Amino acid sequence: MFTTNIAPRFRSARLRTIGAVAAVLVAAGALQLFDANPAASQTLRLTAYSASDDPGLDPAHKAWKNAVAVQVPLSSQAGAYVSGGGSIPMVTAKALHVDNRLLIRVEWADATRDESTTRVQDFADAVALEFPARAATSVPAICMGQADAGVNIWHWRADSQAGFKEPAQVYAGSIVDMYPSRDTLFFTARAAGNPYSNPEAGPVQTLVSQTFGTLTAATVQDVQGSGVYKDGTWAVVFERAYTGADGNQASFSDGARTDMAFAVWNGSEGDRNGKKSVSQFVQLSIMGGDAPGSDGANRMTVLIAVALLVGLSGLGVTLATVGTRGGKVR
């Protein structure tokens, strides 16, 4: 079909080859500008640009204004271990880096602020980020990894942030005669080194997993985080140095790309463990430069756009010229 509309001279192999190469170069230029990975063209992309100001763990810091937001849809966990959940439909993610530290901010709407796990029937709001572990040779199974491709999880919990409360603080009328000992030994899980039970541990746990049921605390808990609840919305910032202190963790660098996934738990729905709202893999890209909206990035965009325009125009003119020279439709 194509060949009947083009002049006989253009059907020569040499010119067809030149045309094909030109088309590929144009496509490559366009992809470079938009930084898209063709293989992951169906996935969302979260880009971490350099932050001009260090926002620290404050989700409301103005440095986040320039960061590009990505809306990540969530659904209940499907597949091998269906557990219900899915009450949070979307999380908005942003990423920055500063001084070789990666910062990721997640925000989602949740009508109820669930940060107490004092009562047996209460579960807490939480959010987690999942990355392939450094040793992963292939893309891990999104549900907690697989034997040859573990995952590294950063897990923020509202109850860990709110802290433990004594019965006397929670129940005004409660009476306790005495506790024979307050030694850590008798807070059995604390003495066993359980990070979730440790009041010194902070709101974020650094975890590794290599399939269902193997989730374990990383040997070094180096991810920091903090969450703020305002007007029916949680905003949580995670922060960690590019290189994890524990060898089995994801590591980042300027220019790196990795997959990542999000999970959100809504405490008032009884979410915990597999009962959560989870995303598909999203691509995280760490760009050396500043976020768009700052001058440097714009200039580069304009230059690439101009180059493409010139190149495409040239190609178009060439085709038109070649096509009309002695062309006659058979």
Partner 1 sequence: MAKVRNWQLGREMDYRYENGKAKRQFAAVFNINRCIACQTCTMACKSTWTFSPGQELMWWNNVETKPYGGYPQNWDLKVLDLQEKANPGGQVWNTGKKDAKTAPYGTFEGKTIFETADQVDKMATGYIPDEADWKSPNIYEDVATRFPKEGVSLPEHSGWFFYLQRICNHCTYPACLAACPRNAVYKREEDGIVLIDQGRCRGYRKCVEACPYKKSMYRPSTRTSEKCIGCYPRVEGTDPLTDGLPMETRCMTACIGKIRLQGLVQVGDDGLWIEDRQNPLYYLVHVAKVALPLYPQFGTQPNVYYIPPRWVPRDYLRQMFGPGVDDAIAAYENPSRETLAVLQLFRATQSIIFSYRVVQGPKSGELRIGGQTREVFDDTVIGFDSKGREIVRVAVNEPVIERQGALAFAMNTI
DSSP 213: T
Q: Which of 182, 330 has the CB closer to partner 1? A: 182
For residue 186, the minimal CB distance to partner 1 (Å) is: 4
Q: Which of 103, 204 has the CB closer to partner 1? A: 204
User: What six digits make up the tokens of 55?
Assistant: 């926002």
Taking the C-alpha atoms of residue 270 and residue 265, their distance in angstroms, rounded to an integer, is 8
Torsion of CA 317, 320, 323, 325, to 10 degrees: -80
Q: Residue 82, interface with partner 1 (CB under 8 A)?
A: yes
Taking the C-alpha atoms of residue 219 and residue 221, their distance in angstroms, rounded to an integer, is 7
Q: Which of 79, 293 has the CB closer to partner 1? A: 79
Q: Which of 39, 176 has the CB closer to partner 1? A: 176
Taking the C-alpha atoms of residue 4 and residue 6, their distance in angstroms, rounded to an integer, is 6
Question: Which residues 13-52 are close enough to bind partner 1 by CB under 8 A?
Answer: none
The length of the chain, given as a count of residues = 330
Q: Which of 66, 209 has the CB closer to partner 1? A: 209
For residue 212, CA distances in Å to 147, 151, 193, 226, 319 come to 10, 11, 21, 27, 57
Largest CA distance in the chain: 105
For residue 271, the minimal CB distance to partner 1 (Å) is: 10
Taking the C-alpha atoms of residue 72 and residue 184, their distance in angstroms, rounded to an integer, is 41
In the set 5, 12, 273, 313, which binds partner 1 (CB under 8 A)? 273
Q: Which of 84, 296 has the CB closer to partner 1? A: 84
Q: Which of 120, 329 has the CB closer to partner 1? A: 120
Stretch that binds partner 1, among 107-115, 117-125, 292-300, 314-322 (CB under 8 A): 117-125
Binding mask 175-214 toward partner 1 (x if CB under 8 A, else -) reads -x--xxxx---xxxxxxxxx-xx--------------xx-
Residues 6+ apart with CB under 8 A from 28: none
In the set 9, 17, 34, 84, which binds partner 1 (CB under 8 A)? 84
For residue 274, the minimal CB distance to partner 1 (Å) is: 7
For residue 214, the minimal CB distance to partner 1 (Å) is: 8
Q: Which of 2, 179 has the CB closer to partner 1? A: 179
For residue 279, the minimal CB distance to partner 1 (Å) is: 20
Using alpha carbons only, how large is the chain's radius of gyration in Å? 26
| E strands present in the chain | 45-50, 70-73, 75-76, 90-98, 101-109, 126-132, 151-157, 204-209, 216-217, 224-230, 233-241, 257-265, 277-278, 282-290
Question: Which residues 47-76 are close enough to bind partner 1 by CB under 8 A?
Answer: none
Q: Identify residue 168 by its one-letter amino acid code.
A: A
| Phi–psi pair at 55, nearest 5 degrees | -80, -10
DSSP 149: B
For residue 117, the minimal CB distance to partner 1 (Å) is: 6
Q: Residue 121, interface with partner 1 (CB under 8 A)?
A: yes
In the complex, the residues that contact partner 1 under the rule CB under 8 A are: 81-84, 117-121, 159, 164-167, 174, 176, 179-182, 186-194, 196-197, 212-213, 215, 272-275
